Amino acid sequence: MVALLSAAMVAAATVSAAGAFPYPVHRRTLGNGLEVILVPYDSPGLAAYFTAFRVGSRDEVEKGRSGFAHFFEHLSFRGTRAHSGDDWERITKSLGYDSNAYTEDDATVYWLAGPTAGLPTIIDLEADRFMNLAYSEDDFKIEARAVLGELLKDLSSPDFKLFEVARERAFSRHTYRHGAMGFERDVRAMPSGYLYSLELYRRFYRPDNATVVVVGDFDEERTFRDIERAFGSWQGTGQPVAVEPEPAQVAERQVRIAFPTPILPRLYSGWHTPGAADPAAVAAQLVLWPFLFARPSALYRELVLERHLVEEIGGEYEPHRDPFLFGCELVLKNAAAEGKARAAVDRAIADVAAGRIDLRLLADVKSNVLASLVMETDTPYRTGVWLLYYRELAGDPGYLEGVMERVRRVSPEDLSVFARRWLSPPNRTTVFMSWEPRGRSPRPLAGLGGGAP
């Protein structure tokens, strides 16, 4: 079997030998479609190992099934007939490996990091886990309760709740309407979804929908042969789902909500913007978010340091596979600051749209964005996380390199054109959250209007 797979294997390709991304990225594909990415890294005796699946909350298209990609991440630690979950944990810990997993909108990623000497055993364990996963309905129901507990904990955070409401209001059709945790009503109903979980496994946990990444100090050829041997017999074809596109938003959406405990009021504004299919727009947003909202920005200086209207400006721009939201959260000093803060945000966006751009600040921001992306590769683990994040956006491990090169070329005109095209009031969703004493109704949103012309 190994000989046949070697003959069918796509030839190794170096995605990045030199350029913005600081490490070589060697990409190979097995005959069954499994992609293998090997990244040599100067970490003597240490390596990070990842198995990623291109399935996240984006792929939860069936009504009532939100949150299942994240739920399945939990189930994947339940074990196989060869190795129980407890056995898997005992072996990995005995080898000196840390491990965990995470589910995002566009992908689910499993990782281990530890001594290179343990890699052959880790590869065998992970191949067994994903090829032969087995769990009972009782295991399923136990894990469902754990997932509900995790969601309820998240919902106690006003920031989590604010963004959850913003997504649900901003998206009417696309599955980005919910996050990885899913809607509470769906999570509460999960114990009845055992058969659906098996269908999710069959549909998405297939070799051609998976990527194995190894970053660190290891022998490339030996490691690839070990992966080929362990995963080569894995069969099956993934079944990607059709996600309904989000129609263009033609009028501003707004909502005011109350939080059950005393908090500082919060104001979220988000605009629909392009996804990974438009790498130039991704690069523009990576630059524009800190230019508008981060600590060096004029808006931060005005709202936080000078006028003391805002406690902090939160959020960040997160590229997504499909068009998503470009937005920020203002934690206000008090409710009376709402209108003035909104007006300041609108003026800052209007300045960019009109071409009034601080060139020195723009140069500093671009340098910082590029430096931050490089600094995120300061360990084998963090390098793998970032490489996979951008790989899952476009199906290309070289996508991060390409975006970094585009960041270098972002011009003032690029930011102005982007702001005029996307950061307009009709394309905006606004959510205001505050603590309201029991019995009082939330007031209408203040300071509507403004923004890019």
Question: Tens digit of pLDDT for each residue in 320-329?
Answer: 999 999 999 9
CATH number of 10-231: 3.30.830.10
**SS3 string of 413-425?**
HHHHHHHHHHCCH
Question: Tens digit of pLDDT for each residue in 45-80?
Answer: 999 999 999 999 999 999 999 999 999 999 999 999
pLDDT of residue 376: 86
Q: CA dist 250 to 216, 258, 320, Å?
A: 48, 26, 22
Q: What are the boundaries of each domain within the chain?
A: 10-231, 253-435
pLDDT of residue 22: 85
Rg (CA), the chain: 23
Q: Give the residue ranges of DSSP H helices in 238-314.
A: 279-293, 298-300
* Confidence check: pLDDT of 18 > 50: no
Question: Tens digit of pLDDT for each residue in 244-266?
Answer: 999 999 999 999 999 999 999 99
Q: Whole-number mean pLDDT of the chain?
A: 92
432: nearest Cα among 323, 348, 344, 334:
334
CATH number of 253-435: 3.30.830.10
Pairwise CA distance, residues 349 & 164, whole Å: 24
CA-CA-CA-CA torsion sign (72, 75, 76, 77): positive
* Confidence check: pLDDT of 13 > 90: no
Question: Tens digit of pLDDT for each residue in 366-423?
Answer: 999 999 888 888 999 999 999 999 999 998 888 988 999 999 999 999 999 999 999 9
- Counting residues of the chain whose pLDDT is more than 70, the rounded percentage is 92
Can you give the pTM of this predicted structure? 0.90
SS3 101: strand
